[in-house]
Amino acid sequence: MNILILGPQGSGKGTQAKRIAVEYGVAHVATGNMFRAAIAAGTTLGLQVQPLLASGQLVPDDLTIGLIRARLQEDDALDGFVLDGFPRTMAQAEVLDAMLAGIGRRLDVVLELLIAEEICVERMLGRAREEGRGDDTPEVIAARLEVYRRETVPVVEHYRATGRLVGIRAERTPDEVFAEIQDTLEQVEERA
């Protein structure tokens, strides 16, 4: 199954994507994690993207697309994947659609985590205190949500138009959200 999960920062996207990957045996493909790993390893890519992550700005499309193109060809992604944090811009979405069409694959379902922005902000501030993530300061949180509204909401609308987008009520506990995702994925499997 090829799954895309969309939602603003703080919506629980990463947590849910990780659970989907484990439960359904698909690859968890998270560009944010890949960039953080590159930064931690001190690679050329890491050095390039570090200031962008620190300020909440997007990494340029060409770098991000190159990374994803290679990642989706790895063995563990051949049977299915859950995309988390990509695509974040319309240019990325168009490349993804073309890339999948080119290899005869498609997104089976697009999950949209529905949540009020104030709750995302509260959660991110909580996460900043617990994990010390450098991009969870109030200024950077505001910047990231602004980027989401400007660049990623059009991506949500693009996938809504395909008829394969399903809204998931994300203002609840992680277990409740995951139960709704499981119901949705079961319906998708039955349809397939």
Catalytic residues: 13, 88, 127, 133, 144
Neighbours of 30 (CB within 10 A): 22
Q: Which is nearer to ligand AMP, 168 or 190 (CB)?
A: 168
Record the tokens describing residue 164, joined without a space.
């394969």
Closest approach of Cβ 12 to ligand AMP, in Å? Answer: 12
CB of 82 vs ligand AMP, minimal distance in Å: 13
- Residue 154 CB, nearest approach to ligand AMP (Å): 14
Tokens found for residue 36:
């953080």
Rg of the chain (C-alpha set): 16
Rounded to a whole number, what is the distance in angstroms from the first to the last CA of the chain?
A: 9
With a CB cutoff of 8 Å and minimum separation 6, the contacts of 168 are 111, 112, 113, 114, 177, 180, 181, 184
Binding region for ligand AMP (CB under 6 A) out of 15-23, 81-89, 156-164, 170-178? 81-89
Strand partners, 28: 82
Contacting ligand AMP within 3-62 (CB under 6 A): 9, 31-32, 35, 52-53, 56-59
Q: Please tell me the count of residues contacting ligand AMP according to CB under 6 A.
A: 17
Q: Does 144 bind ligand AMP (CB under 6 A)?
A: yes
Which residue number is nearest to ligand AMP in terms of Cβ?
Answer: 32
Tell me which residue of 51, 19, 10, 6 sits closest to 176, measured CA to CA: 19
Tokens for 129?
């205190």
Minimum separation from the CB atom of position 105 to ligand AMP (A): 19
Give me the residues that bind ligand AMP (CB under 6 A), please.
9, 31-32, 35, 52-53, 56-59, 64, 85-86, 88, 92, 135, 144
